[in-house]
A = this chain, B = another copy of it.
Amino acid sequence: MTKTPKFSRIVEALPPTVPFVPPEEMERQFGRKVILRLGANESSFGLSPKARAAMEQAAEESYLYGDATSHELRTKLAARLGIGTQHLVIGSGIDELLGLIARAFLDPGSGVTTSEGGYPTFNYHVEGYGGVLHTVPYRSDFYNDLDGLARSARETRSRLVYLANPDNPTGTFYTADEIARFRKQLPSDCLLILDEAYVEFAPEDQIYPIDPDDPQVIRTRTFSKAYGMAGARIGYAIAHPEIVQVFEKIRNHFGVNRMAQAGAAAALEDVEFLRQVVQGVKKGRQEYEELARKTGVRAIPSHTNFVAIDAGSKENAQALLEALWKQGVFVRAPQAAPLHRCIRVTIGTPEERRQFAAVFEKIMQTSPTS
């Protein structure tokens, strides 16, 4: 009969849940080694040698706290993006920034709109701060339902609406015009969180332009995906200066790793490395599309470093997921309809793709989707 002191009302009421079980924990739980790690959209292409060198050099100085204002990185990002440093807040990954946003904008009971089957960690933070989720199913073509999201935001008086673009877990992408139209449909007291974790993989001329003084849009971006620095934990948000000022009142000021700051600043400079990654990923997407076609299923056209493969039914997708896992292939499968027909596979290196194709074809021959 232990008696811990009382927890907060919000926290006490939360169910025991984690947004993702990491592959290391799956290995331990199942006593099985992950052979192909293609489930977390990490960049198999690694990180820029320049970023790595900067991190190694910073390791020597890691007895010093990093700059709590991430001044150098913010200055470089601002120049690159054509905005001011006052529009930028750095966090230890988008996950932390989504938590910060939820905390800054939600009172207990505040409504929040997102797609059903959208990013679980966003939902985790919303519920963790006492927000109430209103979800809108994906369209049958696996696109986010923008009209539905805007309608939900209005009808539920949501304070936040979340949209990943390019989308995770589908890989779909909305152009600047489509996002602009969506933005206009939102009530004036609703904030759009545009999660652009995969933006570097999208067609540059079709990305919704940055208007950093729009008080109703926050964009989140990261060095975890195209820059290949997931383990470094560093990302940023672009927001109206008044919003950034409010984050200053609550954020964990010394939370960003010193090596990550140095690595991110160096990664930004290595434009050629990024170009190669984006190129390599594009090639990988084509291979996965071809592989899907060859095995009688369909890949959803992707603008990210992963491809969602439509296995035709929830049962097929689950069977596929399990068959892959038995072979040590770690991928993920969304749980909500209609996405539950899909498995999501990260674009690996050419060698990883070869290995994945071999396992996948073999499984498909013994017909989990027939």
Contact A11 B103 (CB under 8 A): yes
Q: How far is the CA of A6 from the CA of B65 in the complex (A)?
A: 33
B-chain residues with CB within 8 Å of residue A233 when the two chains form the complex: 66, 92, 254-258
Which of A16-24, A171-179, A334-342, A355-363 has 4 or more CB atoms under 8 Å from chain B?
A16-24
Q: How far is the CA of A144 from the CA of B226 in the complex (A)?
A: 50
Q: Knowing A231-B258, A255-B233 touch, does A105 contact B63 (C-beta < 8 A)?
A: no
Contact B62 A230 (CB under 8 A): yes
Contact B95 A11 (CB under 8 A): no
Q: Knowing A62-B47, A63-B229 touch, does A2 contact B257 (C-beta < 8 A)?
A: no
Contact A63 B45 (CB under 8 A): yes
Contact B42 A250 (CB under 8 A): no
Contact A243 B71 (CB under 8 A): no
Residue A137 lies at the interface, judged by CB distance under 8 Å to chain B: no
CB distance from A14 to the nearest CB of B (A): 5
In A48-100, which residues have CB < 8 Å from any B CB? Answer: 52, 55-56, 58-69, 71, 92-93, 95-96, 99
Q: Knowing A253-B19, A259-B231 touch, does A8 contact B103 (C-beta < 8 A)?
A: yes
Contact A252 B95 (CB under 8 A): yes
Which of A185-193, A288-296, A308-316 has 4 or more CB atoms under 8 Å from chain B?
A185-193
Which residue on chain B has the smallest CB distance to residue A229? Answer: B62
Contact B24 A71 (CB under 8 A): yes
CB distance from A57 to the nearest CB of B (A): 9
Residue A284 lies at the interface, judged by CB distance under 8 Å to chain B: no
Q: Knowing A63-B45, A63-B46, A229-B63 touch, does A242 contact B2 (C-beta < 8 A)?
A: yes
B-chain residues with CB within 8 Å of residue A207 when the two chains form the complex: none
Q: Knowing A25-B71, A42-B65, A249-B128 touch, does A5 contact B230 (C-beta < 8 A)?
A: no
Select one of B24, B99, B103, B257 contacting A231, CB under 8 A.
B257
Residue A364 lies at the interface, judged by CB distance under 8 Å to chain B: no
Contact A16 B249 (CB under 8 A): yes
Closest 9 CB pairs of A and B: A231-B258, A62-B231, A63-B228, A4-B215, A22-B68, A24-B67, A5-B191, A257-B257, A55-B59
